[in-house]
Chains A and B, each alone.
Chain A
Amino acid sequence: MKILLSWLREYVDIPEPPGQLAQALTMAGLTVEGLSEEHGETVIEFDITANRPDALNHLGVAREVATVFGREVRRPEVRFTEDPWPAASNASIEITAPDLCARYTGRVAINVNVTASPDWMRRRLEACGVRSINNVADITNYVLLEAGHPTHAFDLDTLEGAKIIVRRAGPGESLTTLDGVERVLRPEQLVIADARRPVALAGIMGGAATEISRQTRNVLIESAWFEPSSIRRTARQFGMHTEASHRFERGADIEAAPWANDRIAAYLEQLASATILSGLIDAYPARRARAAIGLRRSAVRRHLGVEIPAAEVERILAALGFRIQGEPEGWQVTPPTARLDIEREIDLIEEIARVYGHDKFPPRLPEWGGHAEEAENGVPERRLRETARALGYDEAVTYGFIAAGEAERFGSWPAVAVRNPLSELYSVMRNSAVPGLLHAVEWNSNRGQHDVRLCEVGRLYRAVKEGFAEPPVMALAATGRVRPACWNDPGKLYDFWEIKSDVLTLLRLFDGRLGLEPETEAGYYRPGHAAHITAGGRAVARCGELDPALQAERKLRHPVFLAEVWLDVLYGLPLRQPKFQALPRVPAVDRDFSLLLPEGTRFEQIVETIGERPYLVRLEPMEIFRGGPVPAGKYSLLLRAVWQRDDTTLTDEEVNEYARRLVETLEQKLGAEQRR
């Protein structure tokens, strides 16, 4: 909102330079966003909070200036001559919806000379960002900027039956507003109607048919008070936002309605040589009085933490226009009708605090005898994130929403739809963390970054019977080299074994028996190159290579490896607690076996077939190859077995015997042959 310094000075003395004024008002809660000089005027741009419609005008700001600096406000005197002919003979006003319109005042001006406004008025309006139209419209706008009460001027001769009826819209009614848009009205919307039809959208915008024109001779001025929520609902339904609706939906001053009407009448007489008929037509079905609010000294102290002198409290409240009556424990305070935001004791305390000055309150730390708790699963989450970073994964954060098509391709359940998405790309809440990371991989690839490792810990979203669930998830994406290429090392590309190893490293932070099977459900993995991992029998993770078709679709240079960890399952397991084991006193003994095995023999089968044996502590695949001297249908495995006894060194003879039996088992049960 723009306020002109010269205009403001008509109502209050301001010897301070503009910068100092801006600073003082900002520190009292009227935030000045900018100061500028336009056409010789100092323009102050304010950002007024939603609770202060009373400050959305020059007189309102003048009241604040007077309060802050301890000065007086000079309210303009309103003087005009009334013609003896009663206004009520030329127009009538009826409110049939008193719940939505508490007051409607009207004045009738006749023989109005509609012309251009004088220069001084045009300049002020334009400096405040309001376009000049004609003197009648300009006067209503000028008074709005001056005192804050929205009003409207009707061409009285276009009002059927010279009648104003404030009512709800009827079925099938419509209205073309001043902006030329025809609006179909809903039954609960409040309109100003004449005897026949709606002529204005109450509190928001007038109608085209009753607009003031150069031909207009007689004018009806509306100055009313509308229920804020009704104005806001209607304005929103039509997507409208006007100077009038902005003020009415925040709450106008019901007692300012007659004053604004008189002020306009005075200007019409002065600037449009109008004759003002006698009497204000005032439809005011039930007077709205403000009740006094009790203010306790103890409450001021309790909320603000310091004792503010009683005289200072009284000075502040009086300056703001509150009526005060002393009581033994404090005061009875009656706020002015413009201050709809003041209803309770705490509202008064806020006023005292802001005018007294927030900077005057000393900073203190509150005492505390309680304890502090970690976030739920905060500790395991931190361990996972730390470990992923140690494995070389950069932490990413991606949006919680994805495109519907992505949700269908990557998700395991129907995605929760967003009702008013920003774009198609963000139309559902993610049911998979994969699309977000794939976007990031693609983004990097498009910028020449082909060695990428990203991890994200976040939530997925899912509709459940009781509402929505937000299961936590961790996702990894890796592509390109495991380590950046270097002059002495060309770098190895990420492969399935790397991602599998990363995932198992993460899962092994927890205590649980892990199982691994081929992944068959998720169709976005390369068939046969993805694993489904269980912990204690429950699905806890999957990992593998992205379907090469999807890799090609995104034009990614290297295969992409993904992992998804279902943290809700993982968090059900305890974090592994390190437990010391005595170090072996004698060295282990190992033997390598070069074996030919039938194709299709899985390493796990070999381990299970060998089973538990005396002193056998480890079986490791050292080398696998196919082709060359290896016959078709077979592969060659160099298997290392490691034995260890705690108490004494195993002799060659013992180990040779163990080895012989081990090979014999593999030959008999798996059809292995030992190569010599």
Chain B
Amino acid sequence: MSVTAKVNQPLAEVATDAAAVEQLYRELDALFASELAAARDGEELKKLRDRWLGRKQGLLTFSNDHWLKSAPRPLKPAVGKLQNQLKTRIEQALEEQAGRAVQTARSEPGLDLTLPGPERPIGARHPVRIVQEEVESIFRSMGYSVSSGPEIESDYYNFEALNFPSDHPARDAMDTIFITDRMLLRTHTSPNQIRIMESTPPPLRYIVPGKVYRNDAPDASHSPMFHQVEGFAVDEKISFCDLKGTIDYFLKSLFGAAIRTRFRPSFFPFTEPSAEVDISCIFCGGEGCRVCKQSGWIELLGCGMIDPAVFRYVNYDPERYSGFAFGVGIDRLAMLKYGINDIQLLFQGDVRFLRQFR
């Protein structure tokens, strides 16, 4: 009968005198010693501890319950002493072994730290979204609300109410994609100026980011769909100086305080005076390079004071209110900011491109 079977027997069945008891404990001790020697790692040590010291099923619990508790009075002190000695020894041995395991873990040769770990992919924000969110946050900090508006728009909102008469050459600049005679894909985000002013009395401050469409064949600098953000403010004392200050603040927030802005007179049917805004070239600092075509300036956005004719379409009193508006291509801002040389990259979904923005 093996000692593991014996521990489940009452003491009287396996030993009758002190020598036999001592022999039993020696067998247990020997078994433990061999099992301890075989234990290779922390996991096996834990199993060994459970097998020997487990509260309900441990071998020493059995020897305690079956041998010590049933020992006749004369043998009891000896059994108790042996039981305790063995328990102490096993506990110490396990403790030492655990210590040795820690020692081994600490002394093993280290890893090749230069191997890569498994990559956990996180998605990238689209560069257009990054810039759009940045623009939104700059203007939100100046008290502008954000609105959107439909992409399938009427001729009225896209052109007429913005003071583009039909049969006017100003419409040529925006090659239009039509849905029906009177409905089209908005060519700019400006129609929402009208929609917002129609439903909101002044004063107001809004920006309108969104998709716009032009009938331009795709190439490195054209896309039939792209993104704009429109911004406008209407109040009682808004002047051209406020427009200049706002645009200057916006562009410096976006491109850094070191850039300079330049306002050039221009023409848009829905603003007057109108201006194109250039920034000093962010690549050469204004010295002249390939990107700015040696001019030192990069053309960035169109803006102006809202034309009083527009106010008449929305029943604002042009004698009391004035305002400014601007529109800028988000894609263009993103391309400048990140040095992207082909607008098509924005819309292909090529992960080699998108993952650069993680």
Please list the residues of chain A having a beta carbon within 8 angstroms of any beta carbon in chain B.
Answer: 26-29, 31, 49-52, 228-229, 232-233, 249-250, 302-306, 344, 346-347, 349-350, 353-354, 358-359, 361-368, 370-376, 378, 385, 388-401, 416-422, 426, 429, 436-437, 439-441, 443-444, 447, 449, 452-455, 458-459, 461, 467-468, 470, 483-484, 486-489
Contacts and interface: CB of A to CB of B under 8 A. Distances in A.
A486 B116 contact: yes
Nearest to A354: B265
11 contacts: A49-B267, A304-B241, A350-B274, A359-B262, A368-B205, A392-B123, A397-B346, A400-B185, A401-B225, A483-B120, A489-B118
Interface residues of B, number: 89
Nearest to B217: A422
Closest 9 CB pairs of A and B: A440-B349, A305-B239, A29-B265, A389-B123, A305-B241, A49-B267, A354-B265, A363-B245, A358-B263
Contacts of A489: 118
Contacts of B263: 358-359, 361
A353 B245 contact: no
Contacts of A232: 167-169
Contacts of A391: 123
B241 A400 contact: no
A48 to B, nearest CB: 9
Interface of B: 115-126, 128-129, 136, 140, 142-148, 150-152, 165-170, 172-173, 177-180, 183, 185, 203-205, 211, 213, 215-218, 224-225, 233, 235, 237-242, 244-246, 248-249, 262-267, 272-276, 305, 307-308, 322, 346-352, 354-355, 358
B1 to A, nearest CB: 30
B119 A467 contact: no
B349 A398 contact: yes
B151 A470 contact: yes
Contact of B349 (A344, A426, A443, A461): A443
A538 to B, nearest CB: 23
A380 to B, nearest CB: 14
Contact of B213 (A390, A400, A443): A400
Contact of B151 (A350, A418, A441, A461): A461
Contacts of B235: 366, 368
Given A346-B307, A394-B355, A487-B116, 10 more contacts: A49-B266, A50-B168, A358-B263, A366-B237, A376-B148, A397-B129, A419-B179, A420-B177, A436-B349, A484-B121
A5 to B, nearest CB: 19
B234 to A, nearest CB: 10
Nearest to A251: B169
Given A370-B143, A389-B124, A426-B224, A400 B217 contact: no
Residue of B123, B125, B347 ringed by the most chain A CB atoms within 10 A:
B123
A557 to B, nearest CB: 14
A447 B350 CA distance: 9
B240 A304 contact: yes
B128 A399 contact: no
Contact of B322 (A303, A385, A417): A303
A366 B217 contact: no
A334 to B, nearest CB: 19
B167 A233 contact: yes
A370 B117 CA distance: 51
A418 B177 contact: yes
A368 B146 contact: no
Given A354-B265, A375-B147, A395 B352 contact: no
Contacts of A366: 233, 235, 237-238, 242, 245-246
A303 B177 contact: no
Nearest to B129: A395
Contacts of B211: 400, 458
A466 to B, nearest CB: 12
A364 B241 contact: yes
B152 A468 contact: yes
B343 to A, nearest CB: 11
